[in-house]
């Protein structure tokens, strides 16, 4: 058992997968010599060579498009989009090709590509460095969308994503990169598609993922002080969505609050809320609440604290829901 | 290192008589299938079809110059290249009958990528295939087809630039057919297409795209360079889109009949046949037997297309994921209930 950060856990996941799978490649902007702007690929080029871990021209569409050709040729690309907003130039390649190639070729040509994207705000970053684009990817049939909330699960989920035969958009919550957890990286974890109840409770279910899980847990701690028992679910993947775990929790608590950093309208919270209504309508004691980013472009760093959902906002939503 | 030549490529490349006859056969079959596809569309048997008439030399000459284990990466107007690769025309036309997106052939077996509609987006795929060959230490290369319109797209730039940096073994084959739907080539770029290669650090050549031997020679030369580790080549094959953009387009709205007629007089198939007659490589016997064979191929394709039924509903869900998520499984069951 040791202290481990998400950066370190992701780095170790890449290292172990590169060791086991000699068809795996790691490439993207500054991922080689520098080790990535967040150091997720630190040391990998030295260890595995420039053939398997390489820097590319500054061209996100080509990074994704070249990975399609490499996958057709039987390689296994694990690519990095340097920041959330910089994945948009690759949108055409990911949506029109990565996501559809398997289906277009009637199962003959799979696309075992992992697209790693550092995402989200609350890190004081410049413009175009703090978006939460998961809704775009989750609305694209053919992609899996995986989002870890902490270091140990990040290791397990990235390992599982690399082993997955389907393309995975792997979103890494930047604000959790440096947070330490204590544990063993070899810990077995639920597979992709299984949510995890990270705190048991009886009065209200809070459904979150990525950086919002820690804030939901903080809100649950505060709620407990006033006698409200909150269950917290970490989704771990938006696609597949573990409706069973969500519905099971809401069946017990009768109340649900969905939290994400992305803007509210048409966001993942809308999908989760709809599923709760579809699956657990008879159990609901209150309307499903959403605590999300606002429907505005991600703000400047000096006022971003008003945008990213806080434990206080989550707590207020829990209170409204419980008192309904 | 970087050099861009305005000279026609492929000059002096020796092509034996058997290859010359084979090229004629492939061009004639392509012409016959292309005309039949347009007919099938008019008869309601295809949803849409983009005719390639006029581009047979560019497509057949380039595809035939590549080895069978090289990858060809098409856009959506590459029936001629598919014919060279021995793809069943019915499997190719399945795309245009709206039977299956991408077409129905096995891309791995034919080393021929699925049909690609988003313009220029197939270019980085060919670069990736070339990178894959490099990483495997194989001496194969890839050739990607695109048009003059595609050179305006970012993926053309990103693909060329990347291939130049990594010296990837890829041949960029631009069929400059001078029209991107209604826009003439001079409205796509203020410069010349083949000379763009200079900025990427590899050679660019312009060839007469209606001269099958010139195209064949230029592509052989480029593929040999690629195999030898000398990196990519951009080839601009100057040709003309005799037909409309597709059967859904009316080209009389934006271009003069005289322009089309001028290029019809430069028909690559008629021209090549005359060359073969004059050189004695082609005989009446050859032309008659090719015509006969093309007729049979067309009849089989026609029957196959008409017999092709819509796919069963469960195929909508079969290959979206390796293992369908629970939500998709439920939707599949719902759709089956509709069935």
Q: In this predicted structure, what is the pLDDT of residue B14?
A: 79
State the nearest Cα–Cα gap between A228 and chain B, in angstroms. 33
SS3 B15: coil
Q: In this predicted structure, what is the pLDDT of residue A133?
A: 98
Q: For residue B328, how many other CB atoms are within 10 A of its CB?
A: 17
Domains identified in chain A, total number: 2
Which residue, A162, A183, A204, sits at the end of a domain? A183
- Tell me how far apart the alpha carbons of residues A100 and A92 are, in angstroms, rounded to a whole number: 11
- Tell me how far apart the alpha carbons of residues B245 and A30 are, in angstroms, rounded to a whole number: 42
Q: Tell me, what CATH number does A201's domain have? A: 3.40.50.920
Residue A97 contacts B where some CB pair is shorter than 8 Å: yes
Indicate if A96 and A219 belong to the same structural domain.
Answer: no
In a domain, A215, yes or no: yes
Task: Note which residues in 92-131 of chain B have CB less than 8 A from chain A.
Answer: 100-102, 104, 106-108, 113-114, 118, 121, 123-131
State the nearest Cα–Cα gap between B106 and chain A, in angstroms. 7
Question: Which of B132, B161, B327 lies closest to A57 in CB terms?
Answer: B161
Indicate if A40 and A168 belong to the same structural domain.
Answer: yes
Q: Is B132–A73 a contact, with Cβ atoms under 8 angstroms apart? A: yes
* Candidate list A76, A129, A260, A306, residue with the active-site label: A129
Indicate if A174 and A126 belong to the same structural domain.
Answer: yes
Q: Tell me, what's the ipTM? A: 0.97
Residues in chain B: 339
Indicate if A174 and A288 belong to the same structural domain.
Answer: no
- Domain segments of chain B as ranges: 17-308, 313-339
State the nearest Cα–Cα gap between B92 and chain A, in angstroms. 12
- Tell me how far apart the alpha carbons of residues A192 and B279 are, in angstroms, rounded to a whole number: 67
Indicate if A8 and A150 belong to the same structural domain.
Answer: yes
Question: At how many degrees (to 10) do helices B212-227 and B56-65 cross?
Answer: 30
Q: In this predicted structure, what is the pLDDT of residue B13?
A: 66
Active site annotation includes B157: no
Average pLDDT over residues B210-215: 98
State the nearest Cα–Cα gap between A69 and chain B, in angstroms. 4
Domain B17-308 classification at class level: alpha beta
For chain B, how many helices (H) and strands (E)?
14, 7
pLDDT at B3 over 90: no
Which residue, A159, A183, A207, sits at the end of a domain? A183
In a domain, A216, yes or no: yes
Q: What separation in angstroms does the CA of B104 have from each of A8, B87, B108?
A: 45, 10, 12
Residues 6+ apart with CB under 8 A from B105: B82, B87, B88, B91, B92, B112
Which regions in chain A score pLDDT beneath 50? none
Q: Are B33 and B297 in contact (CB under 8 A)?
A: yes
Q: Is B325–A103 a contact, with Cβ atoms under 8 angstroms apart? A: no
State the nearest Cα–Cα gap between B304 and chain A, in angstroms. 19
- Tell me how far apart the alpha carbons of residues B269 and B209 are, in angstroms, rounded to a whole number: 12
Indicate if A179 and A219 belong to the same structural domain.
Answer: no
Average pLDDT over residues B220-237: 97
Kindly report each contact of residues B28-32 with a partner whose C-beta sits within 8 Å and lies 24 or more positions away, as own/partner.
B28/B269, B28/B290, B28/B291, B28/B294, B29/B83, B29/B290, B29/B293, B29/B294, B29/B297, B30/B56, B30/B59, B30/B60, B30/B79, B30/B80, B30/B83, B31/B56, B31/B269, B31/B294, B32/B294, B32/B295, B32/B297, B32/B298
Active site annotation includes A129: yes
Q: Tell me, what CATH number does A84's domain have? A: 3.40.50.970
Average pLDDT over residues B60-83: 98
In a domain, A249, yes or no: yes
- Tell me how far apart the alpha carbons of residues A162 and A165 are, in angstroms, rounded to a whole number: 8
Indicate if A170 and A203 belong to the same structural domain.
Answer: no
Indicate if A211 and A82 belong to the same structural domain.
Answer: no
Residue recorded with tokens 């791995």? B108
DSSP A179-232: --EEE-TT---PPTT--EEEE--SSEEEEE-TTHHHHHHHHHHHHHHTT--EEE
Q: In this predicted structure, what is the pLDDT of residue A177?
A: 98
Quick: pLDDT tens for A141-188: 999 999 999 999 999 999 999 999 999 999 999 999 999 999 999 877
Look up the pTM and report it. 0.96
- Tell me how far apart the alpha carbons of residues B155 and B121 are, in angstroms, rounded to a whole number: 6
Q: Which helix (H) or strand (E) is B158 found in, with range?
A: helix B154-166
SS3 B156: helix
Indicate if A152 and A286 belong to the same structural domain.
Answer: no
Question: Which of A57, A73, A103 lies closest to B320 in CB terms?
Answer: A103
Nearest of B81, B115, B110 to residue B97 by alpha carbon = B115
Please report residues of B whose CB lies closer than 8 A to that of A103.
101, 319-320
Indicate if A170 and A262 belong to the same structural domain.
Answer: no
Q: In this predicted structure, what is the pLDDT of residue A188?
A: 78
Q: What separation in angstroms does the CA of B112 have from each of A96, A280, B19, B74, B276?
A: 18, 49, 21, 7, 29
Residue B318 contacts A where some CB pair is shorter than 8 Å: yes
How far does CA B104 lie from the centroid of its chain? 16
Percent of chain B beyond pLDDT 70? 96
Q: What is the overall mean pLDDT for chain B?
A: 95
Number of A/B CB contacts below 8 angstroms equals 140
Residue B132 contacts A where some CB pair is shorter than 8 Å: yes
Strand order in the sheet with A196-199: A196-199, A230-234, A204-208, A256-263, A289-293
Please report residues of B whose CB lies closer than 8 A to that of A109.
107-108
Quick: pLDDT tens for B117-174: 999 999 999 999 999 999 999 999 999 999 999 999 999 999 999 999 999 999 999 9
Q: Are A245 and A195 in contact (CB under 8 A)?
A: yes
- Tell me how far apart the alpha carbons of residues B279 and B191 are, in angstroms, rounded to a whole number: 38
pLDDT at B71 over 70: yes
Query: Residue A87 belongs to what domain range?
Result: 2-183
Which residue, A150, A183, A216, sits at the end of a domain? A183
Cis ω for the linkage preceding A240 (within 30 of 0): yes
Quick: pLDDT tens for B35-63: 999 999 999 999 999 999 999 999 999 99
Return the minimum-mean-pLDDT range out of A12-21, A158-167, B13-22, B272-281.
B13-22
Residues in chain A: 324
Q: Which helix (H) or strand (E) is B93 found in, with range?
A: helix B89-93
In a domain, A189, yes or no: no
Of the pLDDT bands very low, low, confident and very high (cuts 50, 70, 90), residue B338 is low
Please report residues of A whose CB lies closer than 8 A to that of B136.
73
Quick: pLDDT tens for B315-326: 999 999 999 999
Please report residues of A whose CB lies closer than 8 A to that of B119.
none
- Tell me how far apart the alpha carbons of residues A5 and A178 are, in angstroms, rounded to a whole number: 5
* Candidate list B31, B111, B206, B245, residue with the active-site label: B245
Q: Is B124–A65 a contact, with Cβ atoms under 8 angstroms apart? A: yes
* Candidate list B110, B195, B254, B255, residue with the active-site label: B254
Residue B69 burial class via C-beta count within 10 angstroms: exposed 0-12, middle 13-18, buried 19 and up: exposed
In a domain, A51, yes or no: yes
């Amino acid at each position: 058992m040791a202290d481990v950060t998400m950066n370190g856990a992701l780095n170790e996941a890449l290292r172990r997968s590169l060791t086991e799978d000699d068809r795996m490649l790691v490439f993207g902007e500054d991922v080689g010599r520098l080790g990535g702007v967040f150091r997720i690929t630190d040391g990998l080029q030295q260890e595995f060579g420039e053939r398997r871990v390489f820097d590319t021209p500054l061209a996100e569409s080509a990074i994704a498009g070249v990975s399609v050709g490499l996958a057709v040729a039987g390689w296994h690309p694990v690519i990095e989009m340097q920041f959330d907003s910089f994945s948009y130039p690759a949108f055409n390649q990911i949506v029109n090709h990565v996501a559809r190639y398997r289906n277009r070729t009637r199962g003959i040509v799979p696309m075992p590509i992992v697209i790693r994207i550092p995402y989200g705000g609350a890190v004081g970053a410049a413009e175009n460095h703090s978006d939460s684009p998961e809704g775009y990817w989750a609305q694209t049939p053919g992609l899996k969308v995986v989002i870890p909330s902490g270091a140990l699960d990040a290791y397990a989920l990235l390992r599982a994503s690399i082993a997955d035969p389907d393309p995975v958009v792997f979103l890494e919550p930047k604000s959790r990169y440096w947070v330490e957890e204590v544990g063993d990286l070899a810990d077995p974890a639920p597979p992709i598609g299984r949510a995890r109840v990270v705190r048991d409770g009886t009065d209200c279910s809070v459904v979150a993922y990525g950086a919002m899980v820690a804030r939901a847990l903080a809100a649950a701690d505060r709620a407990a002080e006033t006698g409200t028992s909150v269950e917290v679910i970490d989704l771990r993947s938006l696609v597949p969505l573990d409706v069973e775990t969500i519905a099971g929790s809401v069946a017990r608590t009768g109340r649900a609050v969905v939290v994400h950093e992305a803007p509210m309208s048409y966001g993942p919270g809308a999908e989760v809320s709809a599923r709760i209504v579809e699956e657990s309508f008879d159990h609901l004691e209150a309307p499903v609440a959403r605590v999300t980013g606002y429907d505005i472009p991600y703000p400047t760093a000096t006022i971003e604290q008003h945008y990213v959902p806080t434990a206080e906002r989550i707590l207020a939503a829990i209170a409204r829901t419980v008192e309904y | 290192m970087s050099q861009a030549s305005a000279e026609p490529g492929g000059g002096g490349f020796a092509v034996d008589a058997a290859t010359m006859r084979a090229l004629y056969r492939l061009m004639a079959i392509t012409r016959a299938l292309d005309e039949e596809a347009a007919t099938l569309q008019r008869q309601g048997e295809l949803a849409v079809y983009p005719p390639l008439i006029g581009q047979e030399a560019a497509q057949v000459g380039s595809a035939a110059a590549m080895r069978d284990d090289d990858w060809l990466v098409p856009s959506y107007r590459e029936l001629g290249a598919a014919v060279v690769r021995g793809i069943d025309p019915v499997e190719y036309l399945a795309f245009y009958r709206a039977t299956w997106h991408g077409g129905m052939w096995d891309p791995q077996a034919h080393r021929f990528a699925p049909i690609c509609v988003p313009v220029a987006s197939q270019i980085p795929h060919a670069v990736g295939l070339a990178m894959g060959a490099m990483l495997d230490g194989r001496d194969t290369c890839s050739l990607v087809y695109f048009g003059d319109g595609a050179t305006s797209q970012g993926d053309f730039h990103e693909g060329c630039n990347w291939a130049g940096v990594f010296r990837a073994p890829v041949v960029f084959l631009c069929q400059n057919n001078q029209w991107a739907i209604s826009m003439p080539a001079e409205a796509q770029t203020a410069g010349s297409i083949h000379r763009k290669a200079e900025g990427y650090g590899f050679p660019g050549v312009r060839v007469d795209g209606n001269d099958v031997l010139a195209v064949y020679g230029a592509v052989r030369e480029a593929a040999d360079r690629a195999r030898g580790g000398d990196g990519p080549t951009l080839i601009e094959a100057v040709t003309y889109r005799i037909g409309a953009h597709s059967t859904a387009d009316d080209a009389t709205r934006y271009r003069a009949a005289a322009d089309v007629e001028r290029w019809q007089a430069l028909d690559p198939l008629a021209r090549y046949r005359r060359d073969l007659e004059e050189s004695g490589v082609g005989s009446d016997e050859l032309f008659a037997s090719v015509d006969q064979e093309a007729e049979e191929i067309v009849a089989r394709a026609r029957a196959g297309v008409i017999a092709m039924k819509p796919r069963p509903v469960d195929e909508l869900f079969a290959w979206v994921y390796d293992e369908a998520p629970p939500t998709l499984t439920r939707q599949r069951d719902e759709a089956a209930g509709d069935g």
